[in-house]
Chain A
């Protein structure tokens, strides 16, 4: 509709213009991918230290413990433990998942799948990555400040996160890093939305877009609307810390005036609940597409899936209060938030019906991206259903702030999104780097990850149901948690297995990117979306001629096909 043709960029020649200050959305996507993988490893290592401490408190962390914590004989000390889980949460959510799913695949896929030569605003895109890089440096830098990094949890509730609870400069740097990253993501989001509205190839209506683009687009909408809310929150937190304002100080903590610490929670969760969907929507889109691609069958009810995603996007903005049941809102608000929360299950159920409908009577190929996509369906089923306990207020009174919550949100945000990210990486590898990753090791990676991941996160839910509360350094000082020791140990070893499995991925990935000689074909998965009509890896101008779209993205097994392939490119006329 609103399409216009962009000029072809001149091919970059110097190293700097090609890899650092590149306007090319594909290069920016790869930059985000490396950035995300780096932080994923950092955050993962932190997770292992946390898990180790929970199973063996006071014992030296294997191999690198003595080097990292020499004063305590290699064991993680309590204050460092608080920093570890704070930074683990922050890094995984804002610096690993967001860059990989939204930064990397958002940048890479949106123009390619829409048939555009680049994003609508390439310079804005480049700046968005550079600002994200600065933000990452601030966050990493905060680890080396005198009193250490932020240690108030990734939610950073005041008054713990004000000067009363965390006097060091680490918490200020944390707030600054989050604010900076928010600016970067908002810039990215504005760019994505404009690109999707304006640069769709001629003939491509909104429902002809792959569902991946739907997911990424709705994520961008949520990002553009709700990141500024968090931005305002952390800005006021910075003011409280640096300029002596009293927004979040109260009680004896406030020497003068009274603010309200709960206000931050409201602001945080007005952003924070949509954030959950910001993370998961791209994964949903990717999964919806790939189930269809590998079942060789059109996506079942694609329109309904797209509309369900949209309605979840809208609902996600109305339910944030279920994070705050224990702060004792008025009963009326509590009831409202509980009921609204429950309505989210309607679109979610429609997803599952459509996902399973796609598999139904398909002809399923179990390539690695498909395995990961089906893994998402499995773990998101678990994650979504366990959310019910936390949405109903009475069970939440018991489970709030226990490991049950931790297990639940890791299933929905970490497990599903991680598996979705892996599915995307394996799938778009040929188009990104021109090689295909080793299929055997990809499958090994999948099965070990899947086992480890379920061990970790289900174990967390079990101990949570047993009453173990979260963010505690040593769970064994309570009598009621004594009997959970074996499960904690099991969880930790599952985490170690899962962590080690990622080594397979890293080796496989690095090998495919840098060392593999064998080039992938242009369309190894035999899929009809626009990015597979061009050579692998994608040339810097993407499309020599802007494609004209004639059919939807999931045109598989049409009985009227006259060619000998079972799929149809989106540029081909439907028979």
Chain B
């Protein structure tokens, strides 16, 4: 909503307005990455000070579901790239297809995450099992909350997709949501490698 109001209300020069919204987006992304960086700092602090990893009483998480999630979110990022370029070239049909695929994959990612949580629970791994389990739960929760925010941001693009909003005015919104969406993909990739693979 903030994007809408700002764009309608204030700007005379869309190019400059675009600049300011992308500067804001960069700052916001820096903030978000500091949040995740702090989580990773905690992870590495535990990882490098403990003698055995994973800590006692736990085994590695099987890679199936996390790998699937990784694939989903990466493909969704690719679809979003496709959406962006087809949106710029005003190919309405193609961009719609790409956009809805991205949205569907986002929802699928959330579904995969809930699967992961219930699988962990059924294996007897709870939040308090060990600090490793705590991290898996807490980090994926926080990431999932951000993905949820990303899905909501995608929904704000719906009027743009259905052609109800001016194409040029929506462009910076499309790009900003895209940056956020790719950012979430990158964060997940880092989490995937640090929490599950290594």
Q: Residues of A at under 8 Å CB distance from B?
A: 2-7, 9, 118, 120-124, 127, 186, 189-191, 193-194, 197-199, 224-229, 231-233, 235-236, 239-240, 243-247, 255-260, 263, 266-267, 270
- Using Cβ atoms and an 8 Å threshold, which residues of chain A touch B127? 239, 243-246
Within 8 A of A (CB), among B12-63: 12-13, 16-17, 19-21, 23-24, 27-28, 30-32, 34-39, 41-42, 45-46, 49, 55, 57
CB <8 Å contact, A121 and B128: no
- Beyond A239-B127, A246-B134, whether A123 also contacts B5 by CB under 8 A is yes
Knowing A190-B24, A256-B129 touch, does A118 contact B45 (C-beta < 8 A)?
Answer: no
In the complex, the answer to whether B38 meets A228 with C-beta atoms within 8 Å is: yes
Contact of B10 with A6 in the complex, beta carbons under 8 Å: yes
A67 to chain B, nearest CB (A): 43
Closest residue of B by beta carbon distance from A233: B38
Report the nearest A residue to B133, measured CB to CB: A257
Q: Which residues of B contact A270 (CB under 8 A)?
A: 38
Sample of 6 further A-B pairs with CB below 8 A, known A198-B20, A228-B35, A257-B128? A198-B16, A224-B27, A231-B35, A232-B142, A246-B128, A267-B42
Counting residue pairs across A and B whose Cβ atoms lie within 8 Å, the total is 155
Given A190-B27, A224-B31, A257-B128, the answer on whether A120 and B55 have CB atoms closer than 8 Å is no
B129 — which chain A residues lie within 8 A by C-beta? 256-257
What are 5 pairs between A and B in contact, CB < 8 Å?
A6-B12, A122-B6, A243-B137, A243-B138, A247-B42
User: Which residue of A9, A226, A257 contacts B134 across the interface (Cβ within 8 Å)?
Assistant: A257
| A-side contacts of B5, CB under 8 Å | 122-123
Which chain A residues border B1 with CB–CB below 8 Å? 123
- Is the Cβ of B6 less than 8 Å from the Cβ of A121? yes
Measured between alpha carbons, how far is A243 from B141 in the docked complex, in Å? 11
Give the complex CA separation of A236 and B43 in angstroms. Answer: 12
How distant is A324 from chain B, measured CB to nearest CB, in Å? 14
Which residue in chain A gives the minimum CB-CB distance to B50? A258
The answer, among B10, B16, B24, B142, for a CB contact under 8 Å with A7, is: B10
- List B contacts of A232 (CB < 8 A): 34-36, 38-39, 42, 142
In the assembled complex, the CB of B149 is this many whole angstroms from the nearest CB of chain A, namely: 12
In the complex, which residues of chain B have a beta carbon less than 8 angstroms from the beta carbon of A199?
20
Q: Complex formed: what's the CA distance from A263 to B49 in Å?
A: 12
State A173–B30 Cα separation when bound (angstroms).
27
Residue B160 interfacial (CB < 8 Å): no
Convert B121-154 into 0s and 1s, putting 1 for each residue whose CB lies closer than 8 angstroms to a CB of A.
0000011111111110110011000000000000
Could you say which residues of chain A place their CB within 8 Å of the CB of B45? 260, 263, 266
Smallest Cβ distance from A24 to chain B, in angstroms?
12
**For B168, what are the chain A residues with a Cβ–Cβ distance below 8 Å?**
none
Residues in B whose Cβ lies below 8 Å from that of A258: 55, 130-131
Report yes or no: B137 in contact with A197, Cβ–Cβ below 8 A: no
CA–CA, A2 and B16, complex, Å? 7
A236/B138 contact (C-beta < 8 A), A227-B31, A247-B131, A256-B129 known: yes
Whether B2 sits at the interface, judged by CB under 8 Å, is yes
Q: How far is the CA of A549 from the CA of B183 in the complex (A)?
A: 39
Minimum C-beta distance from A225 to chain B (A) = 6
The answer on a CB contact under 8 Å between B134 and A245 is yes
Chain B contact residues, CB within 8 Å of chain A = 1-2, 5-6, 9-13, 16-17, 19-21, 23-24, 27-28, 30-32, 34-39, 41-42, 45-46, 49, 55, 57, 126-135, 137-138, 141-142
Beyond A232-B38, A232-B39, whether A193 also contacts B131 by CB under 8 A is no
Q: Which of B13, B23, B134, B141 meets A259, CB within 8 Å? A: B134
Question: What residues of chain A lie closer than 8 Å to B131, measured between beta carbons?
Answer: 245-247, 257-260
Query: Are the C-beta atoms of A190 and B55 separated by less than 8 Å?
Result: no
Nearest-neighbor residue (CB-CB) of A240 within chain B: B134
Give Cα distance in the complex from A318 to B132, angstroms. Answer: 28
Complex contacts, A244 vs chain B, CB 8 Å: 126-128
When distances are taken between beta carbons in the complex, the residues of chain A under 8 Å from B9 are 7, 9, 122
Q: Quick one: closest B residue to A221, CB to CB?
A: B27
Do B19 and A246 touch across chains, with their CB atoms under 8 A apart?
no
Contact yes or no, B128 A193, CB < 8 A: no
User: How far is B135's CA from A229's CA once the two chains are assembled, in angstroms?
Assistant: 16
A270 to B42, CA, bound (A): 12
A250 to chain B minimum Cβ distance, whole angstroms, is 9
A225-B39 contact in complex given A127-B2, A247-B134, C-beta closer than 8 Å: no
Known: A244-B127, A257-B130. A198 touches B23 (CB 8 A): yes
B51 to chain A, nearest CB (A): 12
Shortest distance between the CB of A11 and any CB in chain B (Å)? 14
The chain A residue sitting closest to B58, CB to CB, is: A257
Q: How far is the CA of A343 from the CA of B139 in the complex (A)?
A: 36
A186, A198, A226, A227: the one contacting B19 at CB < 8 Å is A198
Bound together, the chains give a CA A189 to CA B116 distance in angstroms of: 36
Q: Determine if B38 and A267 form an interchain contact, defined as CB atoms under 8 angstroms apart.
A: yes
Task: From the candidates A9, A127, A257, name the one contacting B55 in the complex (CB within 8 A).
Answer: A257
Residues of B close to A233: CB separation below 8 A: 38
Complex: A190 Cα to B142 Cα, angstroms? 21
Query: Is A197 touching B42 in the complex (CB atoms < 8 A)?
Result: no
> Do residues A226 and B34 form an inter-chain contact, with CB atoms below 8 A?
yes
CA distance A189 to B23 in the complex (A): 12
Do A197 and B134 touch (CB < 8 A)? no
Q: Would B142 and A235 count as touching, CB distance under 8 A?
A: yes
Closest to B130 in A: A257
With a CB–CB cut-off of 8 A, which chain A residues contact B6?
120-124
